[in-house]
């Protein structure tokens, strides 16, 4: 699976942005409110930009409806995972399992080729996740991992769905923006349980702008780059390369959140990352 250099640069750059907004959510005082704020800001930014872009083709709208439902669940699971577990624990699982599932779905369901090396990558990812899932003795970590694993399934489903939808849209940027606009309000209502005041609890206006608008821009640009890259390279390959985000995530969490993962967790991360690379090459 050959990925053009420009697509490679787009995906890796987007991966760093993706890791940045995840670390931002974990670092906030209320992870559910932080996630809701990011979803709302992303939807608002998308809504402002969409009138200047050509609308996606009619064939893409069933995929957009599906991704809206999946992204509501995605945002909920992100908030729950970060409410219970560290970035270095949950983020590699969410991002590492997803390409394995995505590549499997793309191979079995849509005829994209996955060679022996690719299946070897899947094995390494699975082994790394099993190592990551061993108990560490901290309250909530088992539940955090379960939320992370559930979200990896959601990520795989919307990645394949959007990979197909964006190819039908004839307007990849507009398609990407609609994936943020459609779930913004319902996802926020689910996360806040109808209590809009939670958005402002313990936050200054500056903090709200930094975490909401800054995180939203990172999220939109990251996913837009990934979807654009899917129009230039196989879905499975792009999904695997996007998981370099887990390396950025652990590094950013180390710098900004003072997370210090132990040797076992770092070994698990290395296995997951190596598996993703082999999956791409396979």
Q: What is the pTM of this model?
A: 0.81
pLDDT at 281: 63
CA geometry: angle at 89 spanning 142 and 236, to 5°?
A: 105
- Among 119-123, 127-131, 205-209, 270-274, the minimum mean pLDDT is found in 205-209
* Structural domain count of the chain: 1
Nearest to 243 by CA among 267, 277, 282: 277
pLDDT at 207: 65
pLDDT confidence tier of residue 224, bands split at 50, 70 and 90: confident
pLDDT at 236: 67
Mean pLDDT for the stretch of residues 149-164: 89
pLDDT at 159: 84
What's the CA gap between 17 and 83, in Å, rounded? Answer: 21
Mean pLDDT, the chain, integer: 82
Residue 230 near residue 165 (C-beta atoms within 8 A): no
What confidence tens digit (pLDDT) does each residue in 195-222 have? 766 666 655 456 666 777 888 889 888 8
Burial code (b: 16+ CB inside 10 Å, e: under 16) for 225-249 equals bbbbbbeebbbbbbbbbbbbbbbbb
Of 134 and 145, more confident? 145
Residue 112 has pLDDT above 70, yes or no: no
What's the CA gap between 73 and 149, in Å, rounded? Answer: 13
Residue 184 has pLDDT above 80, yes or no: yes
State the residue range of the domain holding 41. 5-281
What's the CA gap between 131 and 207, in Å, rounded? Answer: 36
């Amino acid at each position: 699976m050959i990925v053009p250099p420009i697509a490679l640069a787009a995906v890796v750059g987007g991966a760093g942005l993706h890791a940045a907004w995840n670390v931002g959510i974990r670092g906030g005082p209320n992870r559910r409110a932080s996630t809701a704020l990011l979803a709302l800001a992303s939807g608002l930014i998308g809504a402002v930009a969409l009138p200047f872009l050509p609308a996606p083709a009619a064939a893409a709208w069933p995929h957009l409806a599906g991704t809206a439902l999946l992204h509501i669940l995605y945002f909920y699971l992100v908030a729950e995972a970060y409410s219970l577990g560290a970035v270095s624990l949950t983020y590699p699982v969410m991002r590492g399992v997803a390409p394995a599932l995505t590549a499997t779905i793309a191979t079995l369901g849509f005829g994209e080729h996955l060679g022996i090396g690719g299946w070897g990558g899947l094995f390494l990812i699975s082994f790394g996740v099993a190592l990551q899932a061993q108990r560490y003795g901290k309250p909530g970590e088992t539940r955090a991992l379960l939320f992370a694993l559930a979200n990896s399934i959601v990520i795989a489903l919307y990645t394949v769905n959007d990979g197909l939808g964006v190819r039908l849209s004839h307007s990849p940027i507009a398609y990407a923006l609609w994936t943020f606009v459609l779930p913004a309000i319902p996802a926020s209502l689910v996360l806040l349980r109808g209590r809009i005041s939670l958005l402002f609890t313990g936050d200054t206006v500056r903090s709200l702008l930094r975490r909401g608008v800054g995180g939203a821009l990172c999220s939109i640009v990251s996913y837009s780059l990934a979807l654009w890259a899917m129009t230039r390279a196989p879905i499975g390959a792009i999904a695997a390369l996007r998981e370099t985000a887990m390396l950025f995530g652990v590094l950013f969490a180390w710098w900004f959140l003072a997370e210090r993962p132990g040797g076992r967790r770092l070994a698990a991360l290395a296995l997951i990352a190596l598996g993703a690379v082999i999956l791409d090459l396979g």
